[in-house]
Amino acid sequence: MAKIPRSHLAQVDLVPATSADEPIVANLLQLYIYDFSEIIALEVGADGRFAYPQLPRYWSESSRYPFLAAVHGRWAGLVFVRAEAEPVPVWDMAEFFVMRGYRRQGVGTRLAHLAFQRFPGEWQVRVMESNYAARHFWERAIEEFTGRPPESTRADADGGLRHVYRFESKPAFSRGPDTLIPSMG
């Protein structure tokens, strides 16, 4: 796949996924989960698919925001954001995926920044201890967004040790002429 010139990163879009898009999201989730099977033990069910039972909740719960990622109008990944209320209100990056053919071209960074801009406020990004690539990616993507390294703690939850990065998304952090995205109402 041809490399994406940096000047074309404006062609990276975060597209709200409607319930009609659920089959597309479900297909991309299979690729995402399959990637994770390289670093954690995951097996397909009898139907040959990885399970993601919480997917329908992304269209039935108002605290969940599913997005498809597009590059030049072609699906290139997915982004799931959740609003957590406890112990303090915080945006949580629940799932984040760039398909292999689009990686190391700035697409993930661009998508992350679009999501941070779309949801101003406190953020957390939880990354598996063993996901070294993602840890490196998030540390850099967050620092590029806020201008400083994110606070990081380690938490043993959801079945494994994770790094938890925390930072604040302020409107003033928005950069570039094409970065002003209206908030979801």
Point out which residues bind ligand COA (CB under 6 A): 35, 96-98, 103-109, 127, 131, 133-134, 136-137, 140
Chain residue whose CB lies nearest ligand COA? 108
For residue 86, give Cα distances in angstroms to 5, 16, 65, 138. 41, 25, 18, 23
Of 21 and 71, CB closest to ligand COA: 71
Q: How far is the CB of 63 from ligand COA (least distance, A)?
A: 19
Of 58 and 96, CB closest to ligand COA: 96
Q: How far is the CB of 12 from ligand COA (least distance, A)?
A: 9
SS3 annotation, the chain: CCCCCHHHHHHEEEEECCHHHHHHHHHHHHHHHHHHCCCCCCCCCCCCCCCCCCHHHHCCCCCEEEEEEEECCEEEEEEEEEEECCCCCEEEEEEEEECHHHCCCCHHHHHHHHHHHHCCEEEEEEEECCCHHHHHHHHHHHHHHHCCCCEEEEEEECCEEEEEEEEEECHHHCCCCCCCCCCCC
Q: How far is the CB of 81 from ligand COA (least distance, A)?
A: 12
Of 21 and 76, CB closest to ligand COA: 76
Q: How far is the CB of 142 from ligand COA (least distance, A)?
A: 11
Q: How far is the CB of 97 from ligand COA (least distance, A)?
A: 4
Of 2 and 46, CB closest to ligand COA: 2
Of 40 and 44, CB closest to ligand COA: 40
